[in-house]
């Protein structure tokens, strides 16, 4: 009986640790975006992005609190929150997707791997498919996920008034840079 219990306990622990080892996460990922318009460039910078990656399935999720974006000018930050993304109504942006070529990435071996990521981005109450090619760097048990992609503000029903059309671009480039650590179950 005792033996059986030990066996079961061991299996249980090993199962749970196996599950946990597959997942990597961060709560201090970085996302920046740039809007380039004739009159001015607007840069937003976020340093506390949450990201979880399941290396077994390739599932990947991001969560970003919109209020956390910081800008060079205080007025940009105010307008970003109040007039464009309406962060009081839509506090969070989320990405749910998958590393499509997950099987090509050897998470156990150090190196740089190209990762094709596909999924849906939800922002300002709108959901849109996005797809990009980024990279995963595996280095001594840690992962660094880097990607760059473009979004159109009009896809997310973020309107730019005519008077500021030379200040705010409809095309915004988003950069993702997250260092992921193993999630201990």
Residues that bind another protein (CB under 8 A): 1, 4-5, 8, 11-12, 15-16, 19, 23, 25, 27, 45, 50, 52-54, 57, 59-61, 63, 65, 67, 70-75, 77-79, 81-83, 86, 88-89, 94, 161, 163-164, 167, 183, 185
The two three-digit tokens of residue 18, written as one number: 């196996």
Nearer to another protein, 41 or 57 (CB): 57
Shortest Å distance, C-beta 74 to another protein = 3
Shortest Å distance, C-beta 51 to another protein = 9
HSE-up (13 A, CA, CB side) for residue 71: 18
Provide the H-helix boundaries in the chain.
2-21, 74-79
The two three-digit tokens of residue 150, written as one number: 């473009």
Shortest Å distance, C-beta 117 to another protein = 14
Shortest Å distance, C-beta 9 to another protein = 9
Burial of 106 (0-12, 13-18, 19+ CB in 10 A): exposed
The candidate with the shortest Cα–Cα distance to 108, out of 30, 24, 27, 178, is 24
């Amino acid at each position: 009986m005792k033996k059986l219990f030990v066996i079961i306990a061991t299996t249980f622990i090993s199962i749970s640790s196996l599950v946990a080892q597959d997942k990597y996460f961060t709560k201090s990922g970085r996302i920046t975006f740039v809007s380039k318009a004739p009159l001015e460039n607007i840069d937003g910078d976020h340093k506390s992005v949450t990201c979880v990656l399941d290396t077994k399935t390739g599932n990947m999720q991001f969560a970003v609190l919109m209020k956390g974006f910081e800008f060079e000018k205080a007025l940009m930050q105010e307008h970003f929150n109040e007039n464009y993304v309406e962060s009081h109504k839509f506090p969070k942006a989320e990405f749910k997707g998958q590393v499509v070529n997950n099987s090509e990435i050897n998470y156990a071996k150090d190196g740089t791997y190209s990762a094709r990521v596909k999924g849906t981005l939800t922002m300002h109450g709108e959901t849109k498919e996005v797809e990009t090619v980024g990279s995963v760097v595996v280095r001594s048990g840690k992962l660094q996920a880097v990607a760059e992609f473009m979004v159109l503000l009009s896809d997310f029903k973020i309107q730019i008034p005519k008077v500021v059309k030379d200040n705010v671009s409809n095309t915004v480039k988003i950069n993702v840079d997250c260092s992921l650590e193993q999630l201990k179950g």
